[in-house]
Structure 1
């Protein structure tokens, strides 16, 4: 059953959702974190990645676990960049919680994609 689920999950929306999460958080960080220098490139990358994800959504329907995996990937991008940012600027606070959340979401995504062994049924 894992192979059947794996065939239904497409990789392109997952990668694009990850990029939207990272670029969205980077855009927000350039606007709100005083230690970071302003850059327009995260906003440009966010618009392009969101547009490509929307075009992918329009061209091919998302079936099976693809929407859930795309959401997991988006959250991995958001929390992963947040932990990276807090590592780069320690005065923002600890990054322990965001790292734990990122690792938990990564493990869940790996199980959904069939890259890691999930709980055995029966």
Structure 2
């Protein structure tokens, strides 16, 4: 008799989604804000992380359980870079919304990982 499989949240998904969010926000900021200097490494990071994330998506067969936490990690990356820019360049405006959304999403993700009835796979 086979044991039922317990769904697992892939920590690789969360890591790559966070990196994609950071690099996408950095690309957008670099193209729209004059104070930030151009660097091709941000685009290289975005390309490589999206490429590897797509490979993980294709390779893993049961990945429905990792989608919501991965979206949370993606938005944490986007809003945390926006908050970092607000701290680094205060003339750009307030970063209260970015900091608040980053904290709310981080608390939600930690709650989901700690108290959810899921297991994790590396």
Report how far residue 8 of structure 1 moved: 1.2
Q: Which residue does 1:23 correspond to in 2?
A: 23
Taking the aligned partners of 2:42 and 2:29, their CA distance within structure 1 comes to 10
Taking the aligned partners of 1:89 and 1:51, their CA distance within structure 2 comes to 31
Q: Which residue does 1:63 correspond to in 2?
A: 64
* Residues 1:35 and 2:35 are matched in the alignment: yes
Report how far residue 63 of structure 1 moved: 3.1
Whose strand fraction is larger, Structure 1's or Structure 2's?
Answer: 2
Preserved contact between residue 8 and residue 63 of structure 1 (Cα < 8 Å) = no
Structure 2 unaligned residues grouped into runs of 5+: 117-122
1:94 is paired with a residue of what secondary structure? coil
Report how far residue 108 of structure 1 moved: 0.4
Taking the aligned partners of 1:63 and 1:35, their CA distance within structure 2 comes to 40
**4+ residue runs over 3 A deviation:** none
Taking the aligned partners of 1:49 and 1:86, their CA distance within structure 2 comes to 25
User: Normalized against structure 2, the TM-score is what?
Assistant: 0.86
Structure 1 unaligned residues grouped into runs of 5+: none
Q: How many residues align?
A: 111
Residue correspondence of structure 1 range 98-113 to structure 2 within 5 A: 98-113=98-113
Taking the aligned partners of 1:40 and 1:29, their CA distance within structure 2 comes to 13
Q: Which residue does 2:77 correspond to in 1?
A: 77
Q: Which residue does 1:88 correspond to in 2?
A: 88
